[in-house]
Structure 1
Amino acid sequence: MSTLSLFVVALAGIVGVAVVAGLGYLVHRRPALRGPLTIALAAALLMVTFYVGLAQVGGQGGEDGTPAARCSRTGR
């Protein structure tokens, strides 16, 4: 990974932790929000999982967009 991509991943992690901490504080102060907030976080988690899966499938091709060649262990 390049330095820029590592920086973006680290920044996204820090922002994610800050958001979760902020939402935890909000639910602590206003317990009536627990139900709607739980549903919203579950939906966001499913969306993130979907996008990560798409990114993994999309990243399996070659640099020019062609599918990656499969290598066998026999070297043929």
Structure 2
Amino acid sequence: MKESNYIKIYTGSFIIAQLITDHLEAIGITPVIKDETESARLAGFGSSIPGLQEVYVTKDELDTAVPVVENVTSELQN
């Protein structure tokens, strides 16, 4: 099996994943968003946890992307 160049940096709600995506794109990082709920819906199946998304970045972008995730999630906790 081929090793992926992408690393998951966040799993959670659509809204927070979108905020993270917006912040990453503002600094030139284009993340990959994985939404198994939507994929299952399009295929005609259901999902047990609707609205759960995963955000991935390349290994080269990891050191820049992780602080963005930490900032976004910490802002929402305050």
Q: Which structure shows the bigger proportion of residues in helix conformation? A: 1
* Rg (Cα) greater in structure: 1
Q: Which structure shows the bigger proportion of residues in strand conformation? A: 2
TM-score (norm: length of structure 2): 0.33
